[in-house]
Structure 1
Amino acid sequence: MQLHDFLGQVQHRAQMPDIDAALRASRATLETLAERLNGNEPAQLGAQLPRELREFLQRETAGSGERFDSSEFLKRVSEREGIDLPVAVYHARTVIEVLREAVSAGEINDVLAQLPDDYKRIFEAGTSGSMPSH
Structure 2
Amino acid sequence: MEYDEFITHVQSLTQSNSREEAERATRATLETIKERIPADEAEELAANLPQQTAEYLRGREGEPAQNFNLQEFITRTSQKENVEPITTAIHVRAVFAVLQNAVPPEKFAKLHAYLSHDYEELFVT
Q: Shorter-chain TM-score: what band?
A: over 0.9
Call closer, same or farther: CA 1:90–1:61 in 2, change over 3 Å.
Answer: farther
44-53 vs 8-17, greater mean Cα deviation? 8-17
User: What SS is found at the alignment partner of 1:26?
Assistant: helix
Could you tell me the TM-score, scaled by structure 1's length?
A: 0.87
Alpha-carbon shift at residue 59 of structure 1 (Å): 3.0
Q: Residue 89 of structure 1 corresponds to which residue in structure 2?
A: 89
Q: d(CA) in 1 for partners of 2:50 and 2:39?
A: 20
Could you tell me the TM-score, scaled by structure 2's length?
A: 0.93
**One-letter identity of the residue aligned with 2:78:** S
Q: Residue 80 of structure 1 corresponds to which residue in structure 2?
A: 80
Q: Residue 118 of structure 1 corresponds to which residue in structure 2?
A: 118
Call closer, same or farther: CA 1:105–1:4 in 2, change over 3 Å.
Answer: same
Q: Residue 40 of structure 1 corresponds to which residue in structure 2?
A: 40
Q: Residue 16 of structure 1 corresponds to which residue in structure 2?
A: 16
Call closer, same or farther: CA 1:6–1:62 in 2, change over 3 Å.
Answer: farther
> Is residue 2:66 matched to residue 1:27?
no
User: What SS is found at the alignment partner of 1:40?
Assistant: helix
User: What SS is found at the alignment partner of 1:65?
Assistant: coil
After the TM superposition, which residues 64-75 of structure 1 pair with which residues of structure 2 at under 5 Å, given as runs? 64-75=64-75
- The Cα offsets for residues 44-93 of structure 1, whole Å up to 9 and x where unpaired, read as 00000000111000133786310101110011111110000100000000
- The Cα offsets for residues 20-51 of structure 1, whole Å up to 9 and x where unpaired, read as 11110000000000100014000000000000
Retained in 1: the 8 A contact 2:34–2:60?
no
Retained in 1: the 8 A contact 2:39–2:60?
no
Segments of 5+ residues of structure 1 without an aligned counterpart are 126-134
Segments of 5+ residues of structure 2 without an aligned counterpart are none
Query: More helix by proportion, 1 or 2?
Result: 2
Call closer, same or farther: CA 1:63–1:9 in 2, change over 3 Å.
Answer: farther
Give the ranges of 4+ consecutive aligned residues of structure 1 lying more than 2 Å apart after TM superposition.
Answer: 59-64
Retained in 1: the 8 A contact 2:40–2:61?
no
Aligned length: 125
